[in-house]
A and B are shown apart, each in its own frame.
Chain A
Amino acid sequence: MKNQVLCMGILLFMLVVPRMAAQEYRLQSVVRATDGPIVGATVLEMGTANGTMTDVDGKFVLTVSRAGALVRISYIGYRTVELPAQSNQFRQGITLEEDLLLLEDVVVIGYGSVKKNDLTGSVIAIKAEEMNRGSVVSAYELLQGKVTGLQVIPGGGEPGTSATFRIRGSSSLNASNDPLIVLDGVPLTQNDFSSINPNDIESFTVLKDASAAAIYGSRASGGVIIITTKKGSPDGKKFSLSYHGALSVKQNTQRIDVMDAGEYREFITDIYGDRVSPLLGDYDTDWQSLIFRTGFMHDHSLSASGNIIRTIPYRLSVGYTQDEGTMQASWYKRSTVGLNVSPSLLKDHLKIAVNARGSIGTGRNSNALEAAAYFNPTQPPHFYNTDGSIDYSTTNGYWNWGSGRGKDYLANIQATGNPLATIYDWHNKGANYGFIGNATIDYKVHGLEDLRFNLNLSTDETWGTNQRGSNPGSFDTYLDTAAPGIGTYRDVEWKSYNRMLEFYANYNHDFSGHAVDWIGGYSWQHKYSHSLTAQRYNADYDTYPKDTLFGNEVTDDKENYLISFFTRLNYSYKSRYLFTFTLRDDASSRFSPETRWGLFPSAALAWNVAEEDFLRSLPAVSTLKLRLGWGITGQQDIGENNYYPYIARYSMSTGTQYMYYMGASGLSYLLTPQAYDPGIKWEETETYNVAIDYGLFNNRIHGSVDFFLRKTKDLLNSVSIPLGSNFSNTLLTNVGSIENKGLEVALNLIPVSTKDLSVTLGFTGTFQKTKFTKLTFSGDENYGVQVGTILAGTGGFLQLHKVGYSPYAFYCYQQVYDANGKPIQNALVDRTGDGLITSGDRYMVDKHPDPDFYYGINLKVNYRNWDFGFNAHGSVGNWMFNDIYNAHSTSAITLGYNMVDNYARTVLKTGWTDTNSDAQNYSDYWLENASFFRLDDVNVGYTFRFPQYRNLSFRIAASVQNVFVITPYSGIDPEAMGAGSSSNYRYAYSASSTGIDRSIYPRPRIYALRLNINF
Chain B
Amino acid sequence: MRITFLAGLISTAILLSSCLDDLNTLPLNKTDYTSEMAYGNEEVNYLAGLAKIYTSFTNQYDLQVDDYGASEINRAFWALQEFSTDAAKCAWENDSWVKDINQNSWSSADNAATYAVYARTLHGITYVNEFLRQTTDAKLSERGVNGELQAKIHSMRAEARFIRAYLYWMSMDIFGNVPFVTEESEFGAVSPPQVSRVEVFDYIVNELNELSVSDAMPAPRSNYPRADKGSVLGLLARVYLNAGEYSGTPRWQEAKETCEKIFAMNYTLCTDYAALFRGDNGENPDALNEIMFAIAYDAASIQSWGGTTFLCIGATQVDDDPAGALMVGVNDHWSGIRVPYEYARDYFDVSAADYVTGTYTASSDKRGELFFIKGRSEEMSDIAVFSQGWGLFKFNNVPHNQTAAEYYSVAQTLSFANIDMPLIRLGEIYLIYAEACLHQNATASALPYLNLLRSRAGANEITSYNADWLLAERARELIWEAHRRTDLIRHGKFHSGTFLWKYKGEAYDGQGFGAYMNLFAIPASELASNINLVQNPGYIN
Interface of A toward B, CB cutoff 8 Å: 3-4, 6-7, 481, 522, 524, 526, 554-561, 563, 587-589, 593, 596, 643-644, 647-654, 656-665, 667-673, 677-679, 720-731, 733, 776-778, 780, 782-783, 794-797, 836-840, 896, 917-918
Contact = CB atoms under 8 A, between A and B. Distances in A.
Contacts of A3: 14-15, 18-19
A649 B18 contact: no
Given A665-B47, A722-B530, A727-B62, A660 B54 contact: yes
19 contacts: A3-B15, A556-B29, A644-B26, A648-B130, A651-B31, A657-B302, A657-B303, A659-B51, A661-B301, A663-B224, A672-B52, A673-B130, A720-B64, A721-B529, A723-B530, A729-B63, A780-B528, A797-B66, A896-B318
Contacts of B119: 723, 729
B187 interface: yes
Given A650-B39, A663-B224, A838-B96, 5 more contacts: A643-B27, A650-B35, A671-B51, A722-B189, A725-B181
B316 to A, nearest CB: 13
A806 to B, nearest CB: 22
A660 B118 contact: no
Contacts of A778: 528-529, 531
Contact of B34 (A593, A649, A667, A724): A649
A722 B192 contact: yes
A123 B192 CA distance: 49
Interface stretch (B121-129, B251-259, B496-504): B121-129
Nearest to A664: B223
A794 B67 contact: yes
B110 interface: yes
A731 to B, nearest CB: 6
Interface residues of B, number: 85
Given A660-B51, A661-B225, A673 B127 contact: yes
B48 interface: yes
B55 interface: yes
B352 interface: no
Contacts of B185: 724-725
Given A589-B25, A663-B226, A652 B48 contact: yes
Contacts of A653: 48
Contacts of B463: none
Given A661-B298, A661-B301, A670-B55, A727 B127 contact: yes
B358 to A, nearest CB: 20
A673 B35 contact: yes
List the 7 closest A-B pairs by CB distance, nearest first.
A650-B38, A722-B530, A671-B48, A663-B223, A557-B28, A659-B301, A724-B192
A728 B127 CA distance: 10
Contacts, number: 229
B51 A662 contact: yes
A727 B126 contact: yes
A563 B19 contact: yes
Nearest to A660: B51
B192 A555 contact: no
B127 A652 contact: no
Interface string B264-305: 000000000000000000100000000000001010111100
A382 B496 CA distance: 66
A898 to B, nearest CB: 12
A661 B28 CA distance: 29
B509 interface: no
Contacts of B460: none
Q: For A587, A650, A728, which residue has the most chain B Cβ atoms within 10 angstroms?
A: A650
Contacts of A839: 96, 110
Nearest to B318: A896
Interface string B49-67: 1111011001000111111
A824 B8 CA distance: 79
B191 A722 contact: yes
A780 B541 CA distance: 14
Interface in B175-218: 179-181, 185-192
B203 to A, nearest CB: 14
B109 to A, nearest CB: 7
Nearest to B191: A722
Contacts of B55: 660, 670
Contacts of A727: 62, 123, 126-127, 130
Contact of A725 (B187, B302, B318): B187
A729 B50 contact: no
A724 B190 CA distance: 9
B297 to A, nearest CB: 9
B190 A794 contact: no
B32 A728 contact: no
A836 B54 CA distance: 39
A561 B126 contact: no
B71 to A, nearest CB: 10
Contacts of A526: 22
A650 B52 CA distance: 11
A723 B29 contact: no
Contacts of B192: 722-725
Given A652-B30, A656-B301, A671 B122 contact: no
Contact of A561 (B25, B63, B109, B528): B25
Contacts of B14: 3
Contacts of B122: 723-724
A648 B35 contact: yes
Contacts of B441: none
Nearest to A735: B189
A796 B23 CA distance: 39
B529 A720 contact: yes
B379 interface: no
A918 B47 contact: no
Contact of B63 (A677, A728, A795, A837): A728
Interface string B465-503: 000000000000000000000000000000000000000
A725 B190 contact: yes
Nearest to A915: B94
A557 B19 CA distance: 20
A403 to B, nearest CB: 16
A651 to B, nearest CB: 5
